[in-house]
A and B are shown apart, each in its own frame.
Chain A
Amino acid sequence: MTVRTRSTQVSVDAIDTVLPAGTDPPTAVNTAAVLFRNAAVRLGGRLVWSGVDVEVAAGEFVAVLGPNGVGKSTLLKAALGLLPLSVGRAVVLDRPPGRARAEIGYLPQRRSFDPSVRIRGIDIVRLGVDGHRWGLPLPGGERGRAAGRRVAELVELVGATGYAHQPIGRLSGGEQQRLLIAQALARRPRLLLLDEPLDSLDPHNAAAVAALIRTICQRAGVTVLMVAHDVNPILSSLDRVVYLAGGGAVSGSPTEVITSATLSRLYQTPIEVLTASDGRMVVVGQPEPPAAHTDRHVGTGHS
């Protein structure tokens, strides 16, 4: 048996390569990147949530928290315009949802490619760069080469260089997740919608990827809306927390929402928020992320 050690390092130097083109963070502040007003979504005849007011300012790092099945993924899909609101209004990057897709990077919840998918990791990242374009790239054309360079940058950025050339189906869940994050960053998005990006990562890797996302948010002024079950890796970088529970949403600063009383009430289970010796907050006793739950089919597409 040979054991390959794989790079867990995230190259923060390469961060500037994900700067969205033509965005100037200071002027972008004060306009809401994502806005829901009295919004409701109905799925299969059931009201998932209603009366939701969420406002995410440009450049903010926001966590969406809440127990299983309250509609966190639904919130992201509504922001993407993949699900219509039954009531209320939403504005995403100054447009109705669905009109700003080119400027949004999306990472759906927990998907894995099964082992028989014979496509390399870099091909998956490449799809994020120009997979939406019609027509074939000319072999050896300037556009194709630029896309190739971009893919290499992205792969290095998420620290996946060691395994990006292998078939995606053979990689571990965490390795696939890193490549999918690279894919979400491919078009230099102004808004990142990440659905549990840290699950299936070990604590060390979760911290590294959380740091990467925070750096992208801070340096490039990218707005991040991230669904999470374990808030500890991102607690220190959060600007705002959106809590979904009981068919509605509560939003506020982390110090307001992440308190023992609020969390215990929302999750209906005793949760403690402790302050560590270095001043960082730690959430103890929160529900474990679900092991096998998924909101989309595992495997590749058949539609």
Chain B
Amino acid sequence: MIVAAAADAGLSWNLVRDVRQMFAYPFMVNAFRAGTVVAVTAGATGWFMVLRRQTFAGHTLAVAGFPGAAGAVWLGLGATYGYFAFCLAAAFLIAAIPTAGGAAAGRAAESATVGTVQAFALACGFLFVNLYKGFLGGVNALLFGSFLGITDGMVLTLTAVAVAILAVLALFGRPLLFASLDPAVATAAGVPVRALSVAFLILLGSTAAEVSQITGTLLVFTLLVIPAATAQILTTRPALSLALTVLFGLLVTWAGLTVAYYSPYPIGFFITSFSFSLYLLARLAVHAHDLLDRTARTPHPARASA
């Protein structure tokens, strides 16, 4: 029914009218609300995740949401609760990995355990999907995202979780930055490095659960990694880079939602393509800038000899 409504909506090339028409559908309004909330949260958490190089853990937490959502649907609960329950459970599991045997040993153990958790999560997801036979069409939505059928209740849940995540990040952000860049000195300065790393995994799990609802579990990186990676290419100032991350996340989400509204293809594809283009553009721009810088500074041989 909703799909039919969306298919009816054609582009008239009158921007104001098109936008007004798009927002005439409550499901589109909710999609934008949810997308905005998710993009901001993903940007803030993702920025720290990229800095801490925990992208593999982030991906695993997102994938862990898949069996959660599939299982919740199978049991007749909302997918939202499944995402949160499983993403958080996986976060606790990864946090429980002991890092006692030196930092490097801890890291190796961490990535092996993380990979194990990820494989098991995917397997469980497919089992649940098979148990609930009528649901097979929904697998795509769980894996690659959907913006249809976001209820007011879901928007409210997403917003409440987002506010909590952002509040915790605002409180922990500075020591977390210290602990991420320089754990030895941070520990010596009295920063609870281990506790912060557990807290961050929980934030990451909650964020992955939020993002999964829009981009699907397999494309969580689109909002969690690419905007942060793009911003960190462009600037080395922490505050500016964080702000750019959130801005890029919002831009690609809004653009993705708008294009997906007018097209039959899944939203995950559009958001991902837009962020990927942005990332490529940033790389190119920095490369061009470096090149110009170098040619400007190199004295011209002809002039130098003259």
Also in contact, A135 and B171, with CB within 8 A (given A2-B298, A124-B182, A127-B182): yes
Kindly list chain B residues whose C-beta atoms are within 8 Å of the C-beta of A166. Answer: 236
The chain A residues found within 8 Å of chain B, CB to CB, are 1-2, 80, 82, 101-102, 104, 106-108, 111, 113, 117-120, 123-124, 127-128, 130-137, 139, 166-167, 180, 183-184, 187, 296-297, 300-303
- Inter-chain contact A131/B191, CB cutoff 8 Å: yes
Name A's interface SS: loop
Q: In the docked arrangement, what's the CA distance between A296 and B183, Å? A: 10
Kindly list chain A residues whose C-beta atoms are within 8 Å of the C-beta of B103. Answer: 296-297, 301-303
The chain B residues found within 8 Å of chain A, CB to CB, are 51-54, 99, 102-104, 106-107, 110, 170-175, 177-191, 193-194, 197, 232-233, 235-239, 241, 297-298
- Inter-chain contact A119/B106, CB cutoff 8 Å: no
- Inter-chain contact A301/B182, CB cutoff 8 Å: yes
Q: How far is the CB of B76 from chain A (nearest CB, A)?
A: 40
Q: In the docked arrangement, what's the CA distance between A135 and B197, Å? A: 17
- Inter-chain contact B99/A303, CB cutoff 8 Å: yes
Q: How far is the CB of B286 from chain A (nearest CB, A)?
A: 11
Most buried by B among A130, A132, A133, A135: A132
Kindly list chain A residues whose C-beta atoms are within 8 Å of the C-beta of B54. Answer: 302
- Inter-chain contact B236/A131, CB cutoff 8 Å: no
Most buried by B among A2, A131, A180, A187: A131
- Inter-chain contact B239/A139, CB cutoff 8 Å: yes
Contact partner, B189, options A119, A132, A300, A303, Cβ 8 Å: A132
Kindly list chain A residues whose C-beta atoms are within 8 Å of the C-beta of B52. Answer: 300-302
Most buried by A among B107, B110, B182, B197: B182
Q: In the docked arrangement, what's the CA distance between A137 and B54, Å? A: 26
A106-B185, A300-B51 are known; give 5 further A-B pairs, CB within 8 A: A101-B189, A106-B188, A132-B190, A297-B102, A302-B103
Most buried by B among A106, A123, A127, A128: A127
Kindly list chain B residues whose C-beta atoms are within 8 Å of the C-beta of A111. Answer: 182, 184
- Inter-chain contact B237/A136, CB cutoff 8 Å: no
- Inter-chain contact B106/A104, CB cutoff 8 Å: no
| Pairs A-B, 8 closest by C-beta atoms | A131-B178, A301-B183, A106-B188, A297-B104, A101-B190, A108-B184, A118-B232, A132-B189
Q: How far is the CB of A70 from chain B (nearest CB, A)?
A: 19
CB-based nearest A residue for B50: A118
- Inter-chain contact B190/A301, CB cutoff 8 Å: no
Q: How far is the CB of B117 from chain A (nearest CB, A)?
A: 17
- Inter-chain contact B106/A303, CB cutoff 8 Å: yes
Q: How far is the CB of A195 from chain B (nearest CB, A)?
A: 10
Q: How far is the CB of A193 from chain B (nearest CB, A)?
A: 8
Q: How far is the CB of B108 from chain A (nearest CB, A)?
A: 10
Kindly list chain A residues whose C-beta atoms are within 8 Å of the C-beta of B110. Answer: 302
- Inter-chain contact A131/B170, CB cutoff 8 Å: no
Q: How far is the CB of A106 from chain B (nearest CB, A)?
A: 4
Q: How far is the CB of B230 from chain A (nearest CB, A)?
A: 11
Q: How far is the CB of B226 from chain A (nearest CB, A)?
A: 15
CB-based nearest A residue for B299: A2
Q: In the docked arrangement, what's the CA distance between A280 and B201, Å? A: 55
Q: How far is the CB of B223 from chain A (nearest CB, A)?
A: 20
- Inter-chain contact A108/B185, CB cutoff 8 Å: yes
Q: 17 A–B contact pairs at CB < 8 A?
A: A82-B187, A101-B190, A106-B185, A108-B188, A118-B233, A119-B236, A123-B237, A124-B182, A127-B181, A131-B178, A132-B189, A183-B185, A297-B103, A300-B181, A301-B183, A302-B106, A303-B103
Kindly list chain B residues whose C-beta atoms are within 8 Å of the C-beta of A136. Answer: 170, 173-174
Kindly list chain A residues whose C-beta atoms are within 8 Å of the C-beta of B188. Answer: 80, 82, 101, 104, 106, 108
Q: In the docked arrangement, what's the CA distance between A213 and B165, Å? A: 43
- Inter-chain contact A131/B189, CB cutoff 8 Å: yes
Kindly list chain B residues whose C-beta atoms are within 8 Å of the C-beta of A183. Answer: 185
- Inter-chain contact B190/A133, CB cutoff 8 Å: no
CB-based nearest A residue for B239: A139
Contact partner, A124, options B171, B174, B181, B183, Cβ 8 Å: B181
Kindly list chain B residues whose C-beta atoms are within 8 Å of the C-beta of A1. Answer: 298
- Inter-chain contact B297/A2, CB cutoff 8 Å: yes
Kindly list chain A residues whose C-beta atoms are within 8 Å of the C-beta of B241. Answer: 118
Kindly list chain B residues whose C-beta atoms are within 8 Å of the C-beta of A133. Answer: 174-175
- Inter-chain contact A132/B186, CB cutoff 8 Å: yes
CB-based nearest B residue for A167: B236
